[in-house]
Amino acid sequence: MNLTIHERDIEPRLCRTCAACCRITFKLRDTNSRYRRFLRQAGYQLLPPSEPGEKDCCEKKHDATVDMGYCRHLANEQIQSGETYTCRIYETNELPELCAQFNCVSWAKANDNYNAKNALLVRAQQALDQLRIVSA
């Protein structure tokens, strides 16, 4: 996918269509198999996933990503032109200040991660492309 999304494209309408940044993940550095198995047994989704039929991905120490899923305050509804997301914190389309100030493109560029391997940017690009089609 060719990324054409810019900082100026990140605005509330796009965010309500995308919501990729509302998926909460965090990295655990240098985790061992025992701890990863514990987290999985406690109900957390870890990446990389465990091998089929196994309790963990491997026996080696390595970084892992915990995927907590979407923010519990995110509401998703189907509309005629697709999906839209709202924040239930304020029962409105307005986002909390911290979320409203986040710009996924700026963050990716600052972290040297503006590329097609960045799943958050790919989803934002797809949402932007869809909005451009609907607006045309």
In a domain, 127, yes or no: yes
Q: Which is more confidently placed, 85 or 64?
A: 64
How distant, in Å, are the alpha carbons of 44, 63, 126 from that of 116?
27, 22, 11
Number of domains in the chain: 1
Residue 76: band (very low, low, confident or very high) from pLDDT cuts 50, 70, 90:
confident
Q: How far lies 97's CA from each of 87, 89, 94, 101, in Å?
A: 11, 11, 9, 6
In this prediction, residue 16 carries a pLDDT of 85
pLDDT at 42: 94
Cβ-based neighbours of 87, under 8 Å, separated by 6 or more: 71, 73, 74, 75, 93, 94, 95, 96, 99
The mean per-residue pLDDT over the stretch 58-75 comes to: 92
The answer to whether residue 2 is domain-embedded is no
* The pLDDT of residue 118: 94
pLDDT above 70 (res 80): no
Cα distance between residue 48 and residue 52, in whole Å? 12
pLDDT(100) > 80: no
103-106: which pairs have CB atoms within 8 A and are 24 or more residues apart?
103/7, 103/10, 104/10, 104/20, 104/21, 105/5, 105/6, 105/7, 105/9, 105/10, 106/7, 106/10
Does residue 73 lie within any of the structural domains?
A: yes
86 occurs within a structural domain: yes
Query: Any idea which of 22-26, 35-39, 81-85 has the lowest mean pLDDT?
Result: 81-85
Better pLDDT: 62 or 84: 62
If pLDDT is split at 50, 70 and 90, which confidence band does 94 have? low
Tokens of 36: 């990863």
What's the chain's average pLDDT? 88
Specify the 3-state DSSP secondary structure of 19.
coil
Model confidence band, residue 95 (pLDDT cutoffs 50, 70, 90)? low
Does residue 1 fall inside a structural domain? Answer: no
- Residue range(s) defining the domain that contains residue 12: 7-135
